[in-house]
Amino acid sequence: MTSPSSPSAGTPPEAPENPLERLRTDRGVDLATVDLTFEGFRALAQNPHLTANERIGFPDAYRDGFEEAILRDIVAKLPVLLGERATIVDIGPGCAGLPHRLIDLCRQRQHRLVLVDSHEMLQQLPDVDGVTVKIAGSFPAASSAIHDAVPSADAVLCYSVFHYIFADGNPFDFLDSVIQLLASGGRALIADIPNISKRRRFFATETGRQYHKTFTGTDTEPDLRYNEPSRGKIDDAVLLGLMQRAQAAGADAYLVPQASDLPMSNRRDDLLITRA
Ligand SMILES: C[S@@+](CC[C@H](N)C(=O)[O-])C[C@H]1O[C@@H](n2cnc3c(N)ncnc32)[C@H](O)[C@@H]1O
């Protein structure tokens, strides 16, 4: 997604929704062409030429130095993480810094942490006796294995994963399965969701236009097309549909902002689901 006005080859014309568009590495791997399905991530996980961030689809610049702030934001929305002996399920932990921090926190707090991802991702995370339970497989297909391992979850975390599930599977089936996992009083945080409606709203503002110009190093205007189908993209309609679906299942659902110190907070949303 380069344009003749791009400052250099490989730089996209605006802040990309898919960070891999920035990942034309100098190691001869063109990650912009990687198909980010569960299987695509499995292949990334095995690529020895990539950093841990790149194996989960992020340029290092999108995560280095931000993990602490991301975890802080997660803990604020899932306060049970600061309690003790809770059951936490992380859907799609990947293999970079965030799950390592979460594992450390769960070790300190004596939580049980169920990690659900491909074997190739999970094998890059430590096994901690009495803390981690690894379930190799994709969600929601892995739901019954999770139910076999733990009766229910006090918190379900799914960070920066939902957009791949949306493109690859049935988002309502995913949501129904998340809600079925929740214990009473439990919370699910489906977070870091790229919302194209939010993105358009932002880039239509003066702040957004300036952000675009600074990001691209050009004097171009952001692309604000909206009156056309957004195939494969998540918009307000998808998120509101998920909220209605969750509430019809007896949970409460809230669309909440990310902390402003997170790298993509101007175009991403978090969906918080609580069960009484
Ligand atoms: C962008 S990475 C996010 C990793 C981690 N949550 C983070 O934010 O650091 C997406 C991860 O989700 C996993 N994934 C994708 N689809 C999945 C599914 N249906 N079930 C479980 N994991 C999935 C991928 O293998 C990958 O590890």
Atom of ligand 1 nearest to the CA of 42: 25
Q: Which of 153, 79, 80 is nearest to 116 (CA)?
A: 153
Q: How confident is the model over 99-131, as pLDDT tens digits? A: 999 999 999 999 999 999 999 999 999 999 999
Kindly give the number of the ligand 1 atom that is closest to the alpha carbon of 98: 9
pLDDT reading at 22 higher than 60:
no
Query: What's the CA-to-centroid distance between 97 and ligand 1, angstroms?
Result: 13
- What is the distance, to the nearest Å, from the Cα of residue 18 to the centroid of all Cα atoms in its chain? 12
Contact predicate 63/95, CB 8 Å: no
Atom number, ligand 1, closest to the C-alpha of residue 169: 19
- Residue 75 above 60 pLDDT? yes
Q: Which residues line ligand 1 (CB under 6 A)?
A: 38, 41, 56-57, 91-94, 96, 98, 116-118, 121, 138-139, 159-161, 164-165
pLDDT at 249 over 70: yes
237 pLDDT more than 60? yes
Q: Whose CA is nearest to atom 12 of ligand 1?
A: 92
Instruction: Tell the residue nearest (CA) to atom 9 of ligand 1.
Output: 98
Judge contact between 20 and 57, C-beta under 8 A.
Answer: yes
Measured in Å, residue 5 CA sits from the centre of ligand 1 at 34
Are 222 and 208 spatial neighbours (Cβ–Cβ below 8 Å)?
yes
Distance 128 CA to ligand 1 centre (A): 20
195-226, pLDDT tens digit by residue?
A: 999 999 999 999 999 999 998 999 999 988 88
Q: Is the pLDDT of residue 29 over 80?
A: no
188 pLDDT band, cuts 50/70/90, is very high
> What percentage of the chain's residues is helix, strand, coil (to nearest 5)?
40, 20, 40
Taking CA atoms only, the protein residue closest to ligand 1 atom 16 is 38
| pLDDT tens for each residue of 84-100 | 999 999 999 999 999 99
Q: 176 C-alpha vs ligand 1 centroid, how far in Å? A: 18
For residue 150, how far is its CA from the centre of ligand 1 (angstroms)? 20
Q: Quick one: pLDDT at residue 9?
A: 29
Percent over 90 (pLDDT), the chain:
79
In this prediction, residue 103 carries a pLDDT of: 98
Is 242 a residue whose pLDDT tops 50? yes
Higher-pLDDT residue of 52, 5: 52
Only one residue has tokens 């989960």, namely: 56
* Cα Dmax for the chain: 56
Tell me the CA–centroid distance for residue 206 and ligand 1, in Å: 34
Helix (H, G, I), strand (E, B) or coil at 69: helix
User: Could you tell me the distance, in angstroms and rounded to a whole number, from the CA of residue 93 to the centre of ligand 1?
Assistant: 6
